């Protein structure tokens, strides 16, 4: 360790010496615009830090020009295939942002409530709005019927009527409508307004886990570092109501082989509800079904708005149908 550390320090010094051999004086300040009056001061600091850290990485690992240019090509391909958000999840950035949110809430004394976990890159704005209950599966796909229901409450246990439960999940092949054009727009996506008791309910089909596109740049990097690109089966939620902090979360389907091996690091113990398989013929008939179905009961606890903690509404680019 001492050796590593001194090697590292030695290399940092090497970088400074190397930069001084440049004919350009104050090279780092010029790269990041710090020697210019215009521009965003915070962005200058961040660009300078990131570029400097990458210079150090190149020096420390003696990165070859061929390796460097392959990384540039990689980023180009990543953008062209629109997988930036996918890689951000796979490299743990999105989970890391969650950890920072959690910590800020802890420091502000906010405790309890349903834990957050990552949004992921596959939400679609403006899913159809329904009151109280909804059916999410609108395409003729055969899958095990899922009934999910519960209540939205505040952290004191009071029901939150007229909250919006925005729910989205994959089909039985792990694909998300809109992004997977074999599905109709908004299949397996709805916004459900909770009733006067804060309750929501939906009928859908059990999702399969998600796998990164096998020929895409995200999977290519994961494979190159010996990782898989799979997520356990899950259902996403935004839960929001006026005067409350927006909750971004997911539930995982227990029993999935990737439950504790999610490539996006989103699993949390409190987000693995009990899953009941109902094979009672009377229950099937009552629900208009002729086969067994799965039931999940899950309540959400959301926090009241608090000025002392950063807002949980995350601003990021989102897909929008037509």
What is the nearest approach in angstroms of ligand MBD to the Cβ of residue 291?
26
205 part of the interface to ligand MBD, by CB under 6 A:
no
Residue 85 binds Fe ion, judged by CB under 5 A: no
Distances (CA, A) of 227 to 197, 221, 252, 291: 45, 8, 21, 38
Contact of 275 with 293, CB cutoff 8 Å? no
Least distance from C-beta 95 to ligand MBD, angstroms? 9
DSSP strand pairing (164-169 vs 234-240): antiparallel
CA–CA distance, 91 with 41 (Å, rounded to integer): 28
Q: Contacting ligand MBD (CB under 6 A), which of 28, 87, 122, 145?
A: 122
Closer of 86 and 160 to ligand MBD (Cβ): 86
- Would you count residue 235 as binding ligand MBD (CB under 6 A)? no
CB of 86 to ligand MBD, least distance (A): 5
- Per-residue x/- track, 111-140, Fe ion (CB under 5 A): ---------x--------------------
Instruction: Give me the DSSP letters along 166-217.
Output: EEEE--TTS--BTTBTTSPTTTTEEEEE--TTSEEEEEEEPPPPPB--TTSH
Of residues 204, 211, 148, the one with CA closest to residue 174: 211
Tell me: does residue 198 bind Fe ion (CB under 5 A): no
Q: What is the CA radius of gyration of the chain?
A: 24
Residue 264 binding ligand MBD, by CB under 6 A: yes
CB-hemisphere CA count at 13 Å for 145?
A: 15
Residue 141, both tokens = 């796909």
- Tell me the residue nearest to ligand MBD as measured from the CB: 120
Of 146 and 160, nearer to Fe ion (C-beta) is 146
Size of the site for ligand MBD (CB under 6 A): 9
**89 vs 134, which CB is nearer to ligand MBD?**
89
CA distance 65 to 58: 9
Residue 118's binding partner among ligand MBD, Fe ion, none (Cβ under 5 to 8 angstroms by kind) is ligand MBD
Q: Could you please report the per-residue DSSP string of 2-58?
A: HHHHHHHHHHHHHHHHHHHTSSSTTHHHHHTTTTSSSS-HHHHHHHHHHHHHHHHHH
Among 113, 120, 150, 175, binds ligand MBD (CB under 6 A): 120
Q: Which is nearer to Fe ion, 118 or 163 (CB)?
A: 118
The number of residues that bind Fe ion (CB under 5 A) is: 1
Work out which of 28, 78, 87, 89 binds ligand MBD, going by CB under 6 A: 89
Sign of CA dihedral 269, 206, 161, 321: positive
> Should residue 244 be labelled a site residue for ligand MBD when binding is judged by CB under 6 A?
no
What is the binding site for ligand MBD (CB under 6 A)? 86, 89, 118, 120-122, 210, 231, 264
What is the binding site for Fe ion (CB under 5 A)? 120
């Amino acid at each position: 360790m001492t050796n590593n550390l001194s090697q590292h320090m030695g290399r940092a010094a090497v970088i400074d010496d190397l930069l001084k051999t440049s004919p350009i004086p104050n090279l780092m300040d010029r790269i990041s615009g710090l020697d210019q009056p215009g521009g965003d001061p915070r962005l200058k600091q961040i660009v300078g830090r990131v570029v400097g850290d990458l210079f150090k990485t190149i020096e420390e690992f003696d990165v070859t020009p061929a390796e460097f240019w392959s990384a540039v090509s990689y980023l180009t391909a990543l953008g062209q295939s629109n997988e930036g958000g996918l890689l951000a999840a796979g490299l743990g950035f999105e989970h890391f942002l969650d950890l920072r949110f959690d910590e800020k809430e802890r420091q502000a004394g906010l405790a309890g409530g349903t834990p957050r976990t990552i949004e992921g890159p596959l939400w679609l704005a403006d899913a159809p709005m329904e009151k109280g209950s909804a059916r999410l599966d609108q395409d003729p796909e055969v899958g095990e019927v899922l009934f999910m229901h519960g209540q939205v409450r505040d952290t004191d246990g009071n029901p939150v009527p007229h909250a919006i439960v925005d729910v989205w999940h994959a089909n039985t092949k792990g694909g998300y409508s809109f992004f997977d054009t074999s599905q109709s727009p908004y299949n397996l996506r709805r916004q459900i307004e909770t009733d006067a008791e804060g309750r929501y309910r939906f009928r859908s089909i059990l999702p399969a886990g998600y796998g990164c596109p096998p020929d895409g740049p995200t999977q290519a990097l994961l494979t190159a570092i010996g990782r898989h690109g799979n997520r356990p089966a899950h259902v996403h939620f935004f839960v929001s109501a006026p005067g409350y902090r927006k909750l971004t979360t997911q539930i995982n389907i227990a029993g999935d082989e990737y439950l504790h091996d999610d490539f996006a690091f989103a699993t949390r113990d409190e987000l693995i509800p009990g899953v009941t398989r109902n094979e009672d013929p009377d229950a099937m008939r009552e629900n208009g079904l002729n086969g067994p179905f799965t039931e999940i009961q899950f309540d959400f606890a959301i926090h009241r708005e608090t000025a002392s903690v950063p807002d949980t509404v995350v601003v990021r680019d989102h897909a929008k149908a037509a």
